[in-house]
Amino acid sequence: MHDSMPLPLAMLIVFGSAKLLSELFERCKQPGIVGEILAGALIGPSVLGWIHPNDTLKALSDLGVMFLLFGVGLEVKASELLKVGGKATLVATIGVIVPFFAGWGILLAWGAPQVEAIFVGAAMVATSVGITASVLSGRGLLHEIASKIILAAAVIDDVLGLIVLAVVSAIARGRINFWEIALTAALATGFTVLMAVWGTTALNRLLPHFQSRARADDAKFHIALVLLFALALLAQYTGVAAIVGAFLAGLALTDGADARVRTLTRGVSELLVPFFLVGIGLNLNVRVFRSKSILALALLILAAAVVTKLVGCGLGALSLGWENVLKVGLGMVPRGEVGMVVAQIGLGLSVISSEVYAVVVFMVVATTLVTPLLLKLAFRSPQPLPAS
């Protein structure tokens, strides 16, 4: 979006192109969100050049993914996620270790400096749950056991990814403050556990007092929005992503939100989520792949990104059977904005080159694109959560 372009025109191009390609993909019996991501690549700098990444679109994108995860949280009970907490922790932990060492090893073999290799490994660590959550929610699969493990593991994955990022950033700066890293990890873990375990109970006691005194139309939705933004802000202050706070806010409101709150949330999501999906495609830069060596590296990193999550996260779910291994492993594949944040930090610290940065962005966009297609194949026969 150029400075001279009116905001309504930019929103028309982004939203209109997203929904047009989504409709085309749905008619071809493919996930619509793949079309929305490709719309971003089409109208972005790589192809037509109509829209460029900017702060306004980034803000709309951030709001979109926050409402997406908030809506997903409203459909899932915290107690059901806690049932699979142990399994999800194992899935997340192995799913962080395997991609990290794979990315690190590939870059070292390619001849990159040690610090650059470490940053690429870190960029391959964290799963972005927004894409997977959108696919599972859209197909009514949030109540499968594999879906619950994916959602819980992605939250844990974000905390682990934060710790990895803190460590590699300290290495890049040449000094490691173990107390600072430990404090960050403790705050992030404490906030997540506190909200997941006691958030619903606390809100079930407090919300009726506020709602009984409110007189405005849709007061319940207003209270839900206040909680959404408050927990997203707290999540950022504790070090984890704002979308984790948004998801936990929805999780805490599962019992207290009525049909009207859910309907209004879906309405806002329908407006904002396309900006999140298009924003992923906007960051794709295909020009850097004129070099055969960079193209080969990008394809190798992409293959490793898919296989390492499938193997690493799948191993954590091995006791649930091969079908759930496939579902969980593929559900944890998309890297989304998390990988790009790691790459941007590395670029800012001048420890990764512009070519390697482009490779990471390609990996992020490509894993996001292939995940809906892979999940469509994996989730063919639904499996309900077994009775406790």
Yes or no: say if 95 and 313 are a contact pair by the CB < 8 Å rule. yes
Whole-model pTM: value is: 0.75
Q: What is the helix, strand, coil percentage profile of the chain, to 5?
A: 80, 0, 20
Which pLDDT score is estimated for 380? 72
- For the chain, domain boundaries: 7-378
pLDDT at residue number 177: 65
Q: 282, 41 in Cβ contact below 8 A?
A: yes
Distance CA 168, CA 107 (A): 15
Residue entry with tokens 């969980």:
328
pLDDT of residue 209: 66
Q: Mark the ranges of the chain whose per-residue pLDDT is less than 70.
A: 1-4, 172-178, 180, 204, 207-217, 288, 336-338, 381-388
Third-level CATH fold of 7-378? Na+/H+ antiporter like fold (1.20.1530)
pLDDT of residue 387: 44
Q: How far apart are CA 126 and CA 146, in angstroms?
A: 18
